[in-house]
Amino acid sequence: MADNDTLGAPRPRFTAPRPPDSLARVDDGADMRPDGLPARLDHMVGRRWPFRSARVALERPIVSISFDDFPRSAYSHGAAILEDRGVRGTYYVATGLSGLTTPHWTVAGDAETVDLHRRGHEIGLHSHAHRAAASMQPAAVAADLAANRARLRRLLPDLRRETYAYPYGLCGLMQKRHLAGTVRASRSVQEGINTGWMDLDFIKAVEISARAIDAERLDRWLDQVEAARGWLVFFTHDVSDTPSVYGTSLAMLARVVERAQARGIDILPVGAALDRIGLS
């Protein structure tokens, strides 16, 4: 269920509730293969085809920190680590997963989503069913996104101009075109810094996890974003002293915040970073 570009990662296993009839079934891992050839091809084409571009020309670099899915520990530990240091993050919600327990974590529910919003964190879209777009017809992708948005807006009536994160980081060409006309911007899991001309529907990001980052690599990423005066978006999942392969320790998340702050880099939610970049 985690979002990563390691397409050979273990397939998710869920105890899924019965879905609404009009929507794609919530991904319980039974019949989808995010590592399948159609998904790979659609992703390869989609990620190279920009529908909207924007120029990043900042006086000072920006860092954003985002949490996908999001596990309860990203709420309890993750938000506290950010708030204790005076910053806020972006939480990407796949509404169909709400409250489910997976082998990796328990997904947060509506109450946590509402509370994070109240505390100043950004709530973003992450689909309803959490399926790779290539496994769905274009109309189903659009319906799924609409359901995700509708459910979040029922919880948070003032939600507007949401950003999106691709489930599994997998982007489909038709899905991307739909997103370009529907959401403010979309975040991928393609590793890199956003600088110069960037694809608004494929924001690059760097994973905070033991397999993807350590103290030395963190410093290198921060060196790069400073040199480029760009935008570095981090993403992770659970925040725990015994994190999943997709998540982070409390200490590393705190280190990300503190090392960025020590350099005077502003840490902003994704939407606020888009504001700073000058994108309406």
Q: Site residues (CB under 5 A) for Zn ion?
A: 3, 68-69, 167
DSSP state of 84: H
> How far is the C-alpha of 58 from the C-alpha of 41, rounded, in Å?
34
Smallest separation (angstroms) from Zn ion to the CB of 94? 6
Closer of 68 and 201 to Zn ion (Cβ): 68
Q: For helices 173-180 and 37-47, what crossing angle results, to 10°?
A: 40
Q: Residue 207 in 3-state DSSP?
A: strand
Closer of 167 and 172 to Zn ion (Cβ): 167
Burial class (CB in 10 A: 0-12, 13-18, 19+), 51: middle
Q: Which residues make Cβ contacts (< 8 Å) with residue 275, sequence separation at least 6?
A: none
Closer of 3 and 162 to Zn ion (Cβ): 3
Smallest separation (angstroms) from Zn ion to the CB of 31? 18
Smallest separation (angstroms) from Zn ion to the CB of 187? 11
Smallest separation (angstroms) from Zn ion to the CB of 253? 18
> How far is the C-alpha of 74 from the C-alpha of 104, rounded, in Å?
13
Closer of 165 and 268 to Zn ion (Cβ): 165
Closer of 124 and 230 to Zn ion (Cβ): 124
Smallest separation (angstroms) from Zn ion to the CB of 168? 7
Strands (E), 61-209: 62-69, 90-93, 122-125, 164-165, 186-187, 196-199, 206-207
